[in-house]
């Protein structure tokens, strides 16, 4: 058998070893990224992509005045015939939160309608100062004045139902509480002064307005 010179044999033996080292380096290269920078970068990118992909919901068409007749008669102290249901007067981001809650409520068999969104300070004072207690907040103290609160009610057979004596309506209100809290909103049904149809942006009014002014 012919003997190979040592000078030629060493490179041939080293070649497979070099190939193995290169393959291992390429395979595990993704695991050696600096954790100080990469996770934050990816997390920020995912947040941006999520925001871009998130669907912007559109408010449903308004119900006819006849749908509210029973509700107005049920609680005349609320003066629901004078309530503002203009979605455009509310905070746009909060509107999206409310619409998502309404979508989940509809999926649970409880279609909802906006009873009142924006409320002027004058109307707030009238509701707070009436003979029948409607609210404890005076003008400027309610998130309604800043488009950060909404009063919702379930709809059955084309009619708005707000009676708390109606078992189906109370099921809807309890479901509203679950969905609102799951969405990070505050539900008036847990207050000492129960307001089952009321949901609002969580946090103190002062803190929310401070955040808004910084934008």
Q: What confidence tens digit (pLDDT) does each residue in 92-113 have? A: 999 999 999 999 999 999 999 9
Residue 133 confidence (pLDDT): 80
Residue 76 structure tokens: 């005349």
Between these two residues, 114 and 40, which has the higher pLDDT value? 114
Residue 89 confidence (pLDDT): 98
Residue 45 confidence (pLDDT): 54
Residue 16 confidence (pLDDT): 62
Please give the share of the chain, as a percent, with pLDDT higher than 70. Answer: 75
Between these two residues, 37 and 72, which has the higher pLDDT value? 72
d(CA 83, CA 125): 14
Helix (H) or strand (E) holding 114: strand 112-116
- Considering the segment(s) 58-214 as one domain, its CATH architecture is 2-Layer Sandwich (3.30)
Q: What is the pTM of this model?
A: 0.75
Average pLDDT of the chain to the nearest whole number: 85
Whether the per-residue pLDDT at 189 is higher than 70: the answer is yes
Residue 24 confidence (pLDDT): 56
Give the tens place of pLDDT for each residue, 128-187: 998 888 898 999 999 999 999 999 999 999 999 999 999 999 999 999 999 999 999 999
At residue 73's C-alpha, the angle toward residues 155 and 163, to 5°, is 50
Helix orientation angle between 167-182 and 92-107, rounded to the nearest 10 degrees: 130
Residue 162 confidence (pLDDT): 97
d(CA 52, CA 162): 37
- The 3-state secondary structure of 52-75 reads HHCCCCCCCCCCCHHHHHHHHHHC
Q: Tell me the average pLDDT across 47-72.
A: 83
Residue 37 confidence (pLDDT): 45
Whether the per-residue pLDDT at 69 is higher than 50: the answer is yes
Instruction: Give the residue extent of every domain in the chain.
Output: 6-51, 58-214
């Amino acid at each position: 058998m012919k003997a190979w010179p040592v000078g030629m044999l060493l490179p041939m033996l080293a070649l497979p070893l070099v190939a193995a080292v290169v393959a291992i380096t390429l395979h595990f290269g993704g695991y050696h990224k600096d954790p100080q920078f990469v996770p934050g970068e990816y997390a920020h990118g995912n947040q941006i992509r999520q925001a871009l992909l998130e669907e912007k919901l559109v408010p449903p068409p308004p119900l006819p005045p006849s749908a509210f007749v029973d509700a107005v008669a049920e609680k005349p102290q609320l003066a629901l015939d004078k309530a503002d249901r203009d979605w455009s007067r509310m905070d746009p981001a909060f509107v999206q939160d409310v619409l998502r809650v309404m979508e989940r409520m509809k999926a649970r068999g409880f279609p909802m309608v906006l009873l009142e969104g924006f409320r002027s300070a004058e109307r707030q004072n009238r509701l707070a100062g009436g003979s029948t207690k409607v609210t404890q907040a005076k003008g400027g103290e309610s998130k309604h004045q800043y488009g950060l609160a909404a009063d919702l009610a379930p709809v059955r057979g084309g009619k708005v139902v707000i009676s708390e004596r109606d078992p189906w309506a109370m099921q809807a209100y309890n479901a509203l509480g679950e969905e609102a809290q799951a969405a990070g909103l505050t539900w008036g049904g847990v207050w000492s002064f129960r307001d089952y149809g009321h949901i609002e942006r969580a946090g103190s009014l002062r803190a929310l307005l401070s955040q808004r002014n910084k934008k």
